[in-house]
Amino acid sequence: MNKTFIPRSDYTTKKWYIIDASQKPLGRLATSISVILQGKHKIDYDPSVDLGDYLIIINAKNIIIDSWTVGHVKLRVFKPGRPGSSLKKVFEHVPKKIIESAVKNMLPKLVRSTMPKRLKIYDGADHPHKAQNPIFIES
């Protein structure tokens, strides 16, 4: 008889976590975010079951983007039919889009649809999710 425990998606309640993005590199921040959104940080992780948690990112304006990335990466955010604007211009206006696109490309295709519901990104230190009692993670 098979004794392997396979959790269901409603087996555990989803927790809320908070990460301070100030003075953290974009790539390392996106990796830790994708791990939490997929649920890989849990003991009972199974790739076929959705066990990911909610995540709040604060101080998104203070992330570190190195000079090579700023000069070479092109994003198509503001003008869909025209050539993309540089990462530096986008970061000055909307730092949320940069983090979202980095995390989205690190997730498997099935989890990408749930990312906007679970990932909340804010430019400053204030957020409206204090009632959920988020757990602070040092990443």
Q: Say if residues 50 and 61 touch (Cβ distance below 8 Å).
A: no
- Whether residue 7 lies inside any domain: the answer is no
Angle at 38 (CA atoms; ends 92, 139), nearest 5 degrees: 55
The CATH code of the domain that includes 132 is: 3.90.1180.10
The fraction of the chain above a pLDDT of 90, given in percent, is 38
What is the reported pLDDT for 94? 78
Position 9 in a domain: no
Q: pLDDT class for 19, splitting at 50, 70, 90?
A: very high
Q: Given pLDDT bands bounded at 50, 70 and 90, which one contains residue 95? A: confident
Of 121, 123, 96, give the one whose Cα is nearest residue 18: 121
CB neighbours of residue 99 within 10 Å: 21
* Amino acid in position 104: K
**Average pLDDT estimate for 57-61:** 94
Alpha helices in 39-129 (DSSP H): 67-72, 87-93, 95-106, 115-118
If one counts the domains in the chain, the total is 1
Structural domain span for residue 72: 16-137
Tokens found for residue 120: 């909340």
pLDDT reported for residue 111: 81
Which residues are 62's β-sheet partners?
Answer: none
Tell me, yes or no, whether 6 lies in a domain: no
Q: What are phi and psi of 82, to 5 degrees?
A: -115, 170
